[in-house]
Structure 1
Amino acid sequence: MRIASRGIPLLVACLALAYPWLVPNYYLVYAGALTVMYAAMSTSWNLLGGFTGYVSLGHSAFFGLGAYGTGLLVVRLGVPWVAALLVSAVAVTVFAVFVGVAAVRVRGASFVIVSIALVSMMNLVVQGWRSLTGGSTGLQVPSPFPDLHRGQTHIVFFYLFLALLGLALLSWWYVSRSRFGAGLRAIREDEDKAESLGVPTGAYKVTAFALSALFVSLAGGLYAVWFGSLDPIFVFSILISSYMVLMSLLGGVRHLFGPLLGALIVAPAGEYFLIALGETQIHLTATGLVLVLVVLFMPDGILARLTRRRAGPSIPDETAEQRLQGAAR
């Protein structure tokens, strides 16, 4: 088990690095880059949802803000795309801190509603501010690699999203073994008791919220310079947030590689349905149906079903009381 837990991730990493050179055409490279992007975002979402149990359907707001922030800095101010990406991500993270202070005061369904309201509000602001954002017509962002053709650009961004995924996985792994992570798990098990034991629940939730938003906004910024055309209806869509939730739940929110596994299943399936069914709402219905089935019949995810013991890096298996005591210490 120990050899497998180390060897399988290493094998997957090697296959991921070689993927663009193994597939027969550039469309599959594009599909791979899209899958890795969603894997990075769902892993980032899991920094909040997996540890605290707070289900956010509003993370597409940070994706959209990261995309538009990067695009506007490049288009309006002529900022180099790397600097624009980093500045935008920092700005979105600061914004997420202020939003988190208000959002995490509520729990359960109320938190879900607040997160959805955030996406709707950002969508209306971007569409309404036409002089800056282009409104409903969107924003055109120049390619950072004008000398490369589209297929070569897909390869570059495949590796950029892969690097972002690696950072998100490393952050999740570090948090899971820290005192901060113990505090977040305590919040998930019994928030009131954790607070009574001295865990700064408010500060911990806001920090997890902002850290999660940071990686999602970086994915949004990379998406902006990759696709070059931003549609506010898409980048601020609840569908993107739903994909993050679905991928995390399907793979397993308490496992490091759970969201990654979910992304490897859901993203290619979404592309298949889109090609097979065309630009209709049927593939969206299929996504919603899968989400309902996962919540009803597999709430702990695939990895939890495959093995009772830890098959890879995951949140340590301990009792709720031990988590609360560890966080308090």
Structure 2
Amino acid sequence: MPNASRKIVAVGAIVVLAAGILVFPSLAPNPYILSSGVLVLNYAVLATSWNFVGGFTGYISLGHGALAGLGGYATGLLATKAGMPSFAALALAGLLVAALAVPLGMAALRVRGASFVIVSIALVLILLLVFQSWASFTGGSRGLVVPRPFDLTRPEHHRVFYFLFAGLLGVALLVWWLLDRSRFGLGLKSIREDEDKAEALGTPTFTYKLIVFVVSAGFTALAGGLYALWFGDLDPVFQFSILTGSYVVLMALLGGVRNLFGPVVGALIVGSALEYFKVEYGDTPLHLVATGLLLALVVIFMPDGILPAIGDLFRRFDRTRRSSIREVTAAELRDQRKAAV
């Protein structure tokens, strides 16, 4: 497929995806389906935020759920304890978590591979213990009730936050796209391919990793804070769950971590599947089994993700449609030699 045709197909796919997201609230048959759409968009923002680290540097973090939980609790506590307006609390919470990500990143990013994964899991468990034990401040196991910013009916409340999450997703995608085409993004990709070689060639690898980790933490915190304002009730067991980080990684891997829209596609598929599994098998561990099987299928059959697999399919189909000039010329020469003999 020529480059111009590929661009047309890509633009068409983007337009269809954007149109589908925008018209979904009008097509949702009931408030539950609309609330599921809000959750899926929340997952899309989280997966895209995770992809700043996972897609650019190749570092796999299972602890991004902790950053989302911090954003949610920071937003809720600023609104309830400090009496701040909801969206001012959300913005300040994003800045605070991004600032906290600096020392966290300086500690965590000094290790690689499995060690980094273990450190990210430890962060989730530590924060779970802190927020569950500090009941006088966080509400502990009783939870924290967050005042909702709008006095709306339930369907309208879901509709407003659906578009707020869609707007946040658009900003995150734009920043990822800009980074992908920048000199800074090129340095991050060199870390992903070979960190030692990149450092030997003069790339300040630790600084680059820290910066992109802070950016990722900021977007993750905003997603968590927006979820707190939408849902209105925070529970440390849910907010600081290993499953959240696992779901986010699954979504990004399924769609394709090196593609701008990969995490979004993965979130649409996995998020919808999670809601279906919870409805059908929520009273049993079967919804976790189904999610695990989905992850196994992705790793076995599409290790690079859906979008890269589709791209490879198009390229393979294109090669079967037209052979190269060199192949045709060789065949003609062989036929000419046979005829001469």
Whether these two folds match at TM > 0.5 is yes
Q: Percent identity?
A: 58
Number of paired residues?
A: 310
Question: Which aligned runs of 4 or more in structure 1 are off by greater than 4 angstroms?
Answer: none
Which one-letter code corresponds to 2:62 in the other structure?
A: L
When the two structures are superposed, what TM-score results if normalisation uses the length of structure 1? 0.92
- Name the structure 1 match of 2:312: 308
Q: How far 1:310 sits from its partner (Å)?
A: 9.3
Amino acid at match of 2:126: M
Matched, 1:105 2:145: no
Match of 2:159 in 1: 155
Aligned to 1:46: 51
Structure-1 separation of matches of 2:79 and 2:16: 38
Q: C-alpha deviations, 1:95-136, integer Å up to 9, x for none?
A: 111100111110000000000000000111101111100111
Q: CA RMSD in A?
A: 1.3
Q: Which one of 197, 212, 215 corresponds to residue 211 of structure 1?
A: 215
Letter in 2 for 1:160: L
- 1:255 aligned onto 2:259: yes
Matched, 1:27 2:32: yes
Deviation readout 1:35-72 (Å, 9 max, x if unpaired): 11101110110010011000000001110000000000
Measure, in 1, the Cα distance between the counterparts of 2:163 and 2:278: 24
SS in structure 1 of the partner of residue 312 of structure 2:
coil
Moved more, 7-16 or 39-48: 7-16
Aligned match of 1:242:
246
Long gaps (5+) in structure 2: 1-5, 316-341
| 1:124 partnered with 2:135 | no
> Alpha carbons of 1:117 and 1:310: their partners in 2 closer, same or farther (altered >3 Å)?
farther
Give the counterpart of 1:115 among 115, 120, 134: 120
1:216-235 alignment runs, 5 A limit: 216-235=220-239
Query: Could you tell me how far apart the structure 2 residues matched to 1:100 and 1:10 are?
Result: 36
Residue 60 of structure 1: which of 53, 65, 82 is its match?
A: 65
Partner of 1:320 in structure 2? none
d(CA) in 2 for partners of 1:14, 1:92? 32
User: Structure 1 stretches of 5 or more lacking a match?
Assistant: 312-329
C-alpha separation in 1, matches of 2:225 and 2:283: 25
Q: Which has the larger radius of gyration?
A: 2
The 2-side partners of 1:5 and 1:292 are apart by: 28
Q: Which moved more, 1:9-18 or 1:214-223?
A: 9-18
Amino acid at match of 2:167: A
The aligned amino acid for 1:281 is P
Q: Give me the whole-angstrom Cα distance separating, in 1, the residues matched to 2:178 and 2:107.
A: 27
1:294, 1:112 → 2: CA distance? Answer: 20
Distance, in Å, in 1 between the alignment partners of 2:219 and 2:16 is 25
Question: Could you tell which deviates more after superposition, 270-279 or 11-20?
Answer: 11-20
In the alignment, residue 76 of structure 2 is paired with which amino acid? G
